Amino acid sequence: MRAWYDRWRRLIGEAWRFGVVGAANVGVNFVAFNALALTLFPDGELKANIVATAIATTSSYLMNRGWTFRHRKTSRISREYVLFFLFNALGLAIELAVMGAVKYGLGLTSLLALNLAKAAGLGLGTVFRFWTYRAFVFAGQAVLAPAATPAATPVTALAAAPPPGLPARPPVAAPVGAMTGPLVGPPARR
C-alpha cells in the first residue's frame, strides 16, 4: 500500500509541477503568438504559431528538466533533448490541426477565434506531451529520498511497539507480486 501511495504522490507532484511550467509557457506562447501575428506575420497566423511554439518549447524544456522531472536522472541528455522536441513537434501538429480546421474548415479568421482554437489545441497537445515526457523523454530511474521507517513517526512507533514483556514482532515482508517500478511508462531498468 505504501508503494502505491508513493507512486501516486510522485505522479501528482510531477503533474502539478508540469502544470505550473505549462501555465508559464502558455503565457509565453500566447504573448509571442499575438505579438508576431500583429507585427511580423499579419496574415500568417500559423507561421506565427510555429515561431511562438519554438520559443515556448525551449523555455519549457529547461524548466521541465530543471524542476518537474529533476529527480529522474538520465545520462542521455542529447537523446532526451531530441525526444522532447520531437514530441513537442507532434503536440504542435495537434494544435495546428485544430487551428487549421477553425481557420480553413470553418472559415473563422478573427484573432479571437484563432486564440480559442489555439487554446483548444494546446489542451489536447498538453495531455499528449505530459504522457510522452513521463514515458519516454524523462524516463530515467527516479532518484528518491529514503523513505521514513515506520518507527520514525510517533503514531507508528506506538503501534509497532509490543506491549511490555512481549517480544517484538518480526517485520512484515512485501507480498509476492507487489507492484514495483514506475506507475506510467516503460519498465524500470535494473
Q: Name the residue with higher pLDDT: 171 or 53.
A: 53
Q: Give pLDDT, residue 157.
A: 43
Q: Mean pLDDT throughout 83-88?
A: 90
Instruction: Give the mean pLDDT of the chain.
Output: 78
**All residues at 6 or more sequence positions from 72 whose CB lies less than 8 Å from its CB, including other chains:** 138, 139, 140, 141, 142, 143
Integer Cα distance of 81 and 68 in angstroms: 15
Q: Name the residue with higher pLDDT: 145 or 56.
A: 56
* pTM of the entire predicted model: 0.58
- Written as one string, the DSSP assignment of 133-183 is IIIIIT-SEE--PPPPPGGGSHHHHHHHSPPTTSPPPPPPPPPTT---S-S
Given a cut of 50, is residue 149 above it in pLDDT? no
Average the pLDDT over each of 19-33, 67-81, 103-117, 126-140 and give the range with the smallest value.
Answer: 67-81
Give the pLDDT confidence of 54-72 residue by residue, as tens digits.
Answer: 899 889 988 988 888 887 7
Q: Give pLDDT, residue 51.
A: 94
Q: Give pLDDT, residue 160.
A: 47
**All residues at 6 or more sequence positions from 28 whose CB lies less than 8 Å from its CB, including other chains:** 52, 55, 56, 59
Integer Cα distance of 29 and 54 in angstroms: 9
